[in-house]
Structure 1
């Protein structure tokens, strides 16, 4: 598999699986760096000696050969002895690294920047966002003081600065002037001699309604250039100042999709920033409201929303105002469909803050705030919460209690939005045993009707996804199809991209449930769905899910598990490992692993993991585990194992119960 090289930061190499390759000492990395700089051309041995040592030792040539030999072993570990090298070649008087054009991050970066010359702003921004993310520090970081790297470092640094400014220009072209200001402000502070950066910053400020700030920036640039360099600003800065003073029409954002919305956003944000004092408490509530909207975009937006949400809650608590803290915590009513917490420690912090705030609220009144705090506790109490354990209270006891209390208050207050939030919490606490798909379907029915009546779009989507899961568990695929279509339609109308992740996984499950003839098609569908998870911002969902889905597909069709030794099962490893060992004919190890398997967590995959455990127990003759599996799975006899997740299935639970009954010699 192709080796990748990184020089946009410390010099590194990665194998085809993305793992770092051990490159030994600094002179080994220096040889590699020097060959990368040569861009596939031959570097004579004498040149390498001169570059590596100021005062070369007597055996310098031999040392270089030793370094090259070690690099070859690291870069091509599976090359047979005496077979010719394919990557680091000996040619004539020296060596050449024949890396592919896309194998070096610096080369890819250069190509990406060049490609943006003819692209529209949206594609420019996206491509440069990705390319700038490849930088891990200054280029060739550990060789900054070496003469042989100086010119290349300077060239790459200049190219990076150009890319930053090109991306800022694309932002302005998309009507995102307010978002461009902070980055440009930092950019000119670090690189004050770049006139184009000053021009872009002033233009961004002008487009956000900050004409005075824009002119001040231009005057600051002029003062700096005159006093420090003794030169006047160039025509770009002079022309922009004249255009701003004359309110030139061409300075307005170009018309296009989102242009008007972008201008309104920028002007409103600027007005808010000017009008509301920086220390005002209302800013915290406004911030969390924005974070709520940011979360439903998925990807980096969801991750940023989670991170800043905790900071906002902490800031509210520092002010000592329980009512404000309750509002800051409670306004983040982001719908939740997945039952495993992405960040348990962060969830524990939110739960602890909500519990403290409940206690601190003055008695009497504040019922809606209490309900939102209780719903938050129930939603964030999915999975093991360290804070709850330290307090001597199990999450399974507190979560359902909090959900019930939130629902009671919401119904008493007749508050539709609050009830939708509470029903989401109730849904998250309906996994204490198997066979509860009908109950979850009832919640979904009410949530869809309630949300449609009151225009609660995100809650209506949640209701359809809950019903999609429940109807899948009950093998009602026409019904599940209806809810998948409804969820996709709402998601498109209200710009909710995360919904497509779940409906694509459902489509793969739907294919897997059609029978053995579709196994290959189902595997391909699962792999495509897994690719959709990459960067979706839900690590609690993505890690290990694809291997688990493929394992369930194999077990469903009575095929052995994946036998690859290095399969990353993620959090599902305890339940997958016995079957993987059985596939390798390691029966005694499988039996030992099965004895260590914990009970599955009470979540959307509860029945699926019990079915995997049951099949492993049958294979090794573990009667005690078979008995436990039979008892746990019996309430779900009418459901499809795992299909309640909307992600995967092992076929009818009744089939697994029948297998257990046969192995236990029970009457069916």
Structure 2
């Protein structure tokens, strides 16, 4: 018995005669078992895959389909003899056929051998010839079949290109021109295909046609996707122009799963612009999203995954500057991830997951979105470690860092993440991530009030920024130096509070044009409020101050400073739990201070419970840009207030499960 699914499904007996597989549902059951590659598929899974809304007797219908398939595949099996092809195993069924008797398994095995051993290219060619059309062509409307078709089509394209590359590397390939020309015409977005066609033309003595092909590739990629050709195509063009040795010697960017995007793609240019800040940062985000959308329109899943994952711009701030754009990128990454399937190339999957983790940082995200982002960060880290790819691991750890604000008190965990990023970046020459590592460690040291260590990291970050042209870095380190001035204004002989306020004003002026509205808005008023709290002064009441996202937590203290006590109480009762970002400790401390001033003991108790694990940190200092002083001060006040009413107050709610887990960022 032989089963073929690379085209319309069919089963052929030893004499070549076809078996009658029955109707569409029968074929789908058989196809689903083929896709499992010998593993058992539970009855529940088969029912869910066959019906969007399973009928009342779905299990009985499934058993009928299986019985009919068994009769078709083993017509000569004696009654009451156990089946050998579709077997019952545990709570489901499995297909038991040698891999060489199923065309899709033969193809996958031939491709795997050819990846390892170029001598297996003949078997790969034979396996490619068995394709008769779209895989599982007559199984329509099923999500599992669509995922398999997408995955297998990507493998087929890889097989075509791998076979051509092996033949060209071996000195042949002049007869591949027609086949590769058709391949490029059908899949014009695949960079390796253009390079292979140019090499085949050159091998056939058609140098001018080879150069014209590379020019067409450039025109198409730039005009349709905004992408410059990668380094492989550029080197090949140079070699052909200079006749520098045989064309097969030109190194390609083949990776085994596709082609790496070159450093001069539009996305990579956007990465460079992002570090410059200002309008360039805004434009880089816009161009990045446009490239993602253009890639999706091509229908090339691998290309889309690489374009999405190529924007590995180090991110430090946990609030997105353009939430809608971030959501669009995350949605595209999730769609692409689903299309790649569970067996997609690990490097592409890891980059998509890391992208989800780094972009999922809007203040208004749901609990489900936050949980998915944390899971994405943890899985990206695992994959990157397995792949031993330093740059990918640094990118994944950036996502881990951004998802490490599940609760107050995780500065130590972020310090470990920052130290590893810095170590990776230093050992493997990743200057932009070295800057990120320094800034993360600056924030962690600032959170613990270690101003000397934080200043050392700030100086090192400034030196790195001078070589990477990352002008945003000095904006952030300028804020840290203002934060340090504010802290030292409380020391004997330290600078005056007015001096610290002036430093904050200078830092705010620099941030105003940095292209980071998600960071800028409300930061200066919050810094002034922190400075006043350090000196036990009331909140600023200037009506022109834009508190931005921090308004709900600052408002009770502002109203108290205006002697509007009952309005302050009403505002305090309405205060929500703060977003899980750099400022959550600061917002809880503001809540605690207002609760103490208003003798709201229940709210004080809740704030004290949340702040307990952050008792060794400084409020707001986790951002490295301002401080409200030690958390312990607010914690003690809140506990004292709550304790005064212990006999009558309602105990605070226990922390949620996600908020009570250990200090492992990105895995909660």
Task: Give the TM bin, normalised by the shorter chain.
Answer: 0.5 to 0.7
Query: Aligned equivalents of 1:291 and 1:504: distance in 2?
Result: 25
Of 270, 274, 281, the residue aligned with 1:295 is 274
Cα deviation, 1:90-128, whole Å, max 9, x if unaligned, reads xxxxxxxxxxxxxxxxxxxxxxxxxxxxxxxxxxxxxxx
Query: What residue in structure 1 maps to residue 315 of structure 2?
Result: 336
Greater displacement, 342-351 / 512-521: 512-521
Q: 1:305 matched to which residue of 2?
A: 284
> Aligned with 1:339: secondary structure?
coil
TM-score, normalized by length of structure 2? 0.57
Could you say if the C-alpha distance between residues 543 and 322 of structure 1 is closer, same or farther in structure 2, counting changes exceeding 3 Å? same
Q: Does 1:627 align with 2:601?
A: no
Instruction: Identify which of 416, 425, 446 aligns with 1:442.
Output: 416
How many pairs does the alignment contain? 394
2:463 equivalent among 476, 489, 498:
489
CA distance in 2, matches of 1:627, 1:667: 10
Mapped partners of 1:399, 1:540: distance in 2: 19
Take 1:352 and 1:585, find their aligned partners in 2: how far apart are those partners? 47
Does the C-alpha gap of structure 1 residues 272 and 480 become closer, same or farther in structure 2, counting only changes over 3 Å? farther
SS of match in other structure, 2:525: helix
Q: What is the deviation of 1:314?
A: 0.8
Shift of 1:424: 0.3
How far residue 625 of structure 1 moved from its aligned partner, in angstroms, is 1.1
Q: Deviations over 1:456-514 (max 9, x none)?
A: 00000000000000011111111111100110000011211000011000001111111
| Structure 1: gaps spanning 5 or more residues | 1-269
Give the secondary-structure state (helix, strand or coil) at the position aligned to 2:543: coil
Task: Map 1:8-23; keep pairs closer than 5 Å.
Answer: none
Equivalent residues of 1:544, 1:571 under 8 A apart = yes
What is the rounded CA distance, in whole Å, between the counterparts of 2:274 and 2:225 in structure 1? 24
Whole-angstrom distance in 1 between the partners of 2:623 and 2:422: 19
Tell me how far apart the structure 2 counterparts of residues 502 and 275 of structure 1 sit (CA, whole Å). 40
- The one of 315, 325, 335 equivalent to 2:294 is 315
1:530 aligns with 2:475: no
Which structure is richer in relative contact order (CA contacts within 8 A, separation 6 or more)? 2
Shift of 1:278: 2.9
Q: Aligned partners of 2:644, 2:300: CA distance in 1, in Å? A: 62
Map Cα deviations across residues 417-456 of structure 1 (whole Å, 9 max, x no partner).
0000000000001101111111100011111111001100
* 1:310-359 deviation per Cα after TM superposition (whole angstroms, max 9, x unaligned): 11111111111111110010000000001111011111000100000000
Provide TM-score, normalisation by structure 1: 0.57
Instruction: Write the distance in 2 (CA, Å) between the matches of 1:527 and 1:279.
Output: 45
Give runs of aligned pairs for residues 58-77 of structure 1, distance below 5 A. none
Matched, 1:355 2:334: yes
Gap regions ≥5 residues in structure 2: 1-214, 230-260, 647-668
Deviations 1:543-599 (A, max 9, x none): 111011101111121100111234211111101111111010000000001111111
1:278 equivalent in structure 2: 223
Q: How many Å separate the matches in 2 of 1:666 and 1:311?
A: 58
| Structure 2 residue corresponding to 1:549, chosen from 514, 527, 538 | 527
Out of 362, 370, 374, which is 1:396 matched to?
370
Q: Determine whether 1:616 maps to 2:594.
A: yes
Give the aligned CA root-mean-square deviation in angstroms: 2.1
Q: Is the 8 A contact 2:319 2:363 kept in 1?
A: no
Pick the aligned partner of 2:397 from 406, 423, 438. 423
Flag the 1:282–1:343 CA change in 2: closer, same or farther, 3 A. closer
1:409 paired residue among 343, 360, 383 = 383
Shift of 1:365: 4.2
Correspondence 1:346 to 2:325: yes
1:364 Cα offset (Å):
2.6
| Inter-partner Cα distance in structure 2 for 1:656 and 1:276 | 58
Contact 2:225–2:294 (CA<8 Å) still a contact in 1?
A: no
CA contact (8 A) 2:350 2:384 kept: yes
Residue 534 (structure 2) pairs with residue 560 (structure 1): no
Tell me if the contact between 1:382 and 1:395 (Cα under 8 Å) persists in the aligned partners: no
Change (3 A) 1:487 1:356: same
Q: Is the 8 A contact 1:384 1:395 kept in 2?
A: no
The residue that corresponds to 2:549 in the other structure is 571
Q: 1:661 aligns with which of 639, 644, 662?
A: 639
Q: Is the 8 A contact 1:488 1:500 kept in 2?
A: yes
Please report how far the alpha carbon of residue 308 of structure 1 lies from its aligned counterpart in structure 2 after TM superposition. 1.4
Contact 1:578 1:590 in 2 (8 A): yes
